[in-house]
Amino acid sequence: MTSYKELGLVNTREMFAKAVAGGYAIPAFNFNTLEQMQAIVQAAVETKSPVIMQVSKGARNYANGTILRYMAQGAVEYAKELGCKNPQIVLHLDHGDSFELCKDCIDNGFSSVMFDGSALPYEENIRITKQVVEYAHAHDVTVEAELGVLAGVEDEVSSAVSHYTKPEEVVDFSTRSGCDSLAISIGTSHGAYKFTPEQCTRDPKTGRLVPPPLAFDILHEIEKKLPGFPIVLHGSSSVPQEEVDTINAHGGKLPDAVGIPEEQLREASKSAVCKINIDSDSRLAMTAAIRKHFDEKPGDFDPRQYLKPARENMKKMYIHKIVEVLGSNDKL
């Protein structure tokens, strides 16, 4: 058993309480590689922001759970080395799909876990979330749960049953499961294609797709039912069009990739939404820099030559999110 406390990590409890009260959101950046981790830490230290470094089941399989755990410990030590006296870094399991996986992460240095039972029947979701909460709380680890299915607007219009989170369920769910935060579905979705062109309008000036707005009415109803309770938004990449353009201009093929407009994430950050998940934007920033580099310097083959600009581009994106979108800067 390795407690996250031995690694210098913190859980989300205090950071979420401060974020909800202060009207900002904590960045939750997914990571799989050394360069992503370095860029996240540099961005968090330079902006004096708390940060959640999150790992999916796929990331654990890709990078190895033991390595990721010590990378998180390395992140804390690196932040101190960069001059941050009191780093507030969470190592979080993203989309845990079983009690066993959540337990394994808790036993191996994670300070926060998500049990994602959103696709399960309601009672089954409560039952397993509660089981995770009981184990996690015994180790002072915090638990994120999910209610409502993140599938995007398409399902909302094509399905007779809404997949958006039902505000009338949130009090019962959070009370009975005992979760510390709740991921909700209000129209965001994972990946770089969040909406089809048919769901969007087109800006006549730029020719860009303009997606439909998030369901802020549902968010506000949930806030009224659960005053001060930490709410999480998954699928919150903005899919920056300049990165998509760079990728497409250098041999990539990402037609009509579209994300959540940053103004809407800015608005959400001021509400009870206190954790915003971003993965795809990091993938896009990394890929754009690498494609550009190879196109311009086809003779390069030392990974440092193309991973360095990739790391710098990700860092720039992380800083932009922290300062211009989530407002978590200057909070340490």
Q: Residues in the site for ligand G3H, rule: CB under 6 A?
A: 30, 56, 58-59, 94-95, 190, 279
Stretch that binds ligand 13P, among 85-93, 132-140, 152-160, 278-286 (CB under 6 A): 278-286
Residue environment code for 32-66, b if the CB has 16+ CB neighbours within 10 A, otherwise e: bbebbbbbbbbbbbbbebbbbbbbbbebbeebebe
Please, which residue, 55 or 307, has the CB nearer to ligand 13P? 55
Our finding on whether 30 is near ligand 13P (CB under 6 A) is: yes
Q: Mask 145-174, x = binds ligand 13P (CB under 6 A)?
A: ------------------------------
> How far are the Cα atoms of 5, 251, 282 from residue 69, in angstroms, in the given order?
12, 35, 20
Asked about 94 being catalytic, the answer comes back as yes
Residue 59: which of ligand 13P, Zn ion, ligand G3H, none does it interact with, CB under 5 to 8 A by kind?
ligand G3H
Please, which residue, 10 or 151, has the CB nearer to Zn ion? 151
Closest among 36, 63, 55, 37 to 310, alpha carbons compared:
36
Closest among 222, 215, 287 to 251, alpha carbons compared:
287
Residue 223: which of Zn ion, ligand 13P, ligand G3H, none does it interact with, CB under 5 to 8 A by kind?
none
Residue 59's Cβ-side half-sphere holds a number of Cα atoms within 13 Å equal to 24
Residue 315: which of ligand G3H, Zn ion, ligand 13P, none does it interact with, CB under 5 to 8 A by kind?
none
Q: Which residue has the tokens 């037609």?
A: 255
Radius of gyration of the chain (CA): 19
Please, which residue, 31 or 226, has the CB nearer to ligand G3H? 31
Residue 237: which of ligand G3H, Zn ion, ligand 13P, none does it interact with, CB under 5 to 8 A by kind?
ligand 13P
Minimum distance from CB of 285 to ligand G3H (Å)?
14
Closest among 86, 82, 71, 78 to 30, alpha carbons compared:
71
Minimum distance from CB of 280 to Zn ion (Å)?
10
Stretch that binds ligand 13P, among 60-68, 77-85, 276-284, 285-293 (CB under 6 A): 276-284
DSSP codes, 260-296? --HHHHHHHHTTTEEEEEE-HHHHHHHHHHHHHHHHH
CA 165, 211, 170: angle at the middle one, nearest 5? 10
Q: Measured between alpha carbons, how far is 165 from 170 in angstroms, rounded to an integer?
A: 8
- Single residue of 165, 185, 236, 328 touching ligand 13P by CB under 6 A: 236
Site size toward ligand 13P, by CB under 6 A: 14
Q: Measured between alpha carbons, how far is 163 from 59 in angstroms, rounded to an integer?
A: 27
Strands 201-202 and 209-210: antiparallel
What residues numbered 90-119 form the site for ligand 13P, per CB under 6 A? Answer: 94-95
- Single residue of 60, 163, 234, 315 touching Zn ion by CB under 5 A: 234
Q: What single-letter amino acid sits at 185?
A: S
Identified catalytic residue from 94, 116, 180, 281: 94
Residue 58: which of ligand G3H, ligand 13P, Zn ion, none does it interact with, CB under 5 to 8 A by kind?
ligand G3H
Q: Measured between alpha carbons, how far is 201 from 60 in angstroms, rounded to an integer?
A: 38
Catalytic amino acids?
A: 94
**Which residues contribute to the site for ligand 13P (CB under 6 A)?**
30, 94-95, 190-191, 234-237, 277-281
**Which residues contribute to the site for Zn ion (CB under 5 A)?**
234
